[in-house]
Each structure stands twice: as C-alpha cells, then as structure tokens.
C-alpha cells in the first residue's frame, strides 16, 4: 500500500521522506495556494523542487487549473515536461475525462481527482487514467459513507481488471487508512498529521517510559 503525502509544503515532504513513509506527493490548487508562491513560474519551480525530493519510483500529482479541453491538454503537457515524475491531476469532468484519454494515448500519466461516485469511478477507469482519487473525508462530512465507496470501486475494478489504481484521498484520520488497507486498495494520500497519528498509542509511551525507568534505576 503506497503512502502519498497530501501537501505542497517542502518541509513536510522532507520530514515524512526522512522516516521512509512516503511513496509520493499529491497537491491541489488549494494546497499550492497555502505556500509562499505568487505566480505560474514560481509554481513550476516549486513543482521541480518537490520532484527533486522524490526518487524515480515516487511521483508528484500536479493539478491543472484549466477547465476547457484544449487548455487542459496544453497545461498538462507543460506540467509533464517539468519532470518525468509528474502525474497530471485532472478533475472529473467531461473535458477532464476527454483529456485523460488524450494523455493516456501519449503515455502521460494521470490522476483523476474529485471523484465522489461509482459512476464517475467507472468513467475514470475506462478513460485509462493511472489513478482515481475518490474523496473519502468530504463524503463522510456530508454523511455519505466514503469507505463504502472505496470498497465498491475496488469490487468493480477487480471485476474488470481495470489497471487504474485507487488512491484514496481526503483522508481525515488513521481509521480511514486502516480501513483502506483492509479493503486492499493501492494507495492513500494523507495530510502529515494523520501519518503521525498512525504512530501513536498511549501504551507504547507508558511501556517505553517504564522500560527506561527500570533500566536506569539499576544500570549506570
Ligand atoms: C486529493 O488528492 C486532494 O488533494 C485531497 O486529498 C483533498 O483533501 P481534503 O478534503 O482534506 O481537502
């Protein structure tokens, strides 16, 4: 199961990379807007800086902000030329799906984002996308069951042996990651705090504290 970090922040990427728990990075326009970046050139330079932190097996999903077909294609091609590690993130729209078909023929990798239903997930797989990003947390926020959607996408993709990988997005807590692992999906993308919360258990802290106290009492 691959772990992507959902961030555009270089320090966060360095931190998770240093503990060896990162297989790539996903960004979106809101995450880019949180960084100290003010124009297109700076965004491109920022994507290149992220790619420099990744090895050749890791990739970065960089999202287009265009919505018209021709514009998505032009923007996606430019992004793909920044680095071979870049996967073009395209929203789940008619123009988005058309663009993914185009990119797929050109062997440019894609991640279809903002997926909230089974119908959308089927279209994504048929378009030849490399990744589908169903938004778990945002569904839960609306009282829909995000994990149920992930489970059913997996069933459908298995039925047809679709090659599109499921990359569960909008992760809010460690239970989301654990349940995705049980379902057997390919990857999750998560904010840094959720990765840290996977490490935590109060009994680990209490146990370690006692081990060290016992040891220090006796051994100088
Ligand atoms: C997907 O790739 C998005 O970047 C992301 O997971 C959205 O998460 P949010 O709902 O926490 O904004």
Over residues 169-196, the pLDDT tens digits come to: 999 999 999 999 999 999 999 999 999 9
- In terms of Cα–Cα distance, which of 45, 44, 46 is closest to 11? 46
Burial of 214 (0-12, 13-18, 19+ CB in 10 A): exposed
Q: Which atom of ligand 1 is nearest to the CA of 189?
A: 6
Q: Give the closest residue (by CA) to ligand 1 atom 8.
A: 170
Q: Give the closest residue (by CA) to ligand 1 atom 9.
A: 170
Q: What is the mean pLDDT of residues 11-33?
A: 97
Q: Which atom of ligand 1 is nearest to the CA of 6?
A: 4
* Alpha-carbon span 213 to 140, nearest angstrom: 43
* Alpha-carbon span 131 to 111, nearest angstrom: 4
- In terms of Cα–Cα distance, which of 115, 114, 104 is closest to 156? 115
For residue 173, give Cα distances in angstroms to 20, 189, 198: 20, 11, 9
The answer to whether the beta carbons of residues 187 and 168 sit under 8 Å apart is yes
The answer to whether the beta carbons of residues 110 and 89 sit under 8 Å apart is yes
Q: What's the CA-to-centroid distance between 164 and ligand 1, angstroms? A: 19
| 75-86: pLDDT as tens digits | 999 999 999 999
Residue from 24, 138, 170 whose mutation best tests the ligand 1 pocket (most atoms within 8 A of CB): 170
The answer to whether the beta carbons of residues 25 and 10 sit under 8 Å apart is no
Query: Taking the model in full, what pTM does it have?
Result: 0.95
Band the pLDDT of 220: cuts 50, 70, 90.
confident
Q: What's the CA-to-centroid distance between 6 and ligand 1, angstroms? A: 7
* Alpha-carbon span 129 to 120, nearest angstrom: 12
Whether 163 is catalytic: no
- In terms of Cα–Cα distance, which of 195, 194, 189, 192 is closest to 63? 189
What pLDDT, on a 0 to 100 scale, did the predictor assign at position 168? 98
Residues with CB under 6 A from ligand 1: 6, 26, 28, 113, 133, 135, 137-138, 169-170, 189
Pick the catalytic residue from 2, 52, 78, 89.
89
Q: What is the mean pLDDT of residues 128-145?
A: 98
């Amino acid at each position: 199961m691959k772990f992507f970090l959902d961030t555009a922040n270089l320090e966060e990427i360095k931190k998770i990379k240093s503990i060896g728990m990162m297989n790539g990075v996903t960004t979106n326009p809101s995450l880019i807007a949180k960084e100290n970046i003010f124009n297109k050139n700076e965004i491109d330079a920022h994507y290149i800086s992220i790619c420099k932190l990744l090895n050749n097996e890791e990739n970065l999903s960089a999202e287009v902000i265009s919505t018209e077909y021709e514009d998505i294609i032009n923007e996606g091609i430019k992004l793909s030329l920044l680095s071979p590690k870049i996967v073009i993130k395209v929203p789940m729209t008619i123009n988005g799906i058309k663009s993914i078909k185009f990119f797929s023929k050109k062997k440019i990798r894609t991640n279809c984002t903002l997926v909230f239903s089974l119908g959308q997930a089927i279209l994504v797989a048929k378009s030849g996308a490399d990744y589908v990003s169903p938004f778990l947390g945002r569904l839960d926020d609306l009282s829909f069951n995000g994990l149920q959607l992930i489970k059913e996408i997996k069933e459908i993709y298995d039925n047809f042996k679709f090659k599109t990988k499921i990359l569960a997005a909008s992760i809010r807590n460690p239970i989301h990651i654990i349940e995705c692992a049980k379902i057997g999906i390919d990857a999750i993308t998560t904010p840094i705090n959720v990765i840290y919360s996977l490490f935590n258990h109060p009994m680990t802290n209490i146990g370690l504290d006692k081990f060290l106290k016992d040891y220090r009492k006796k051994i100088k």
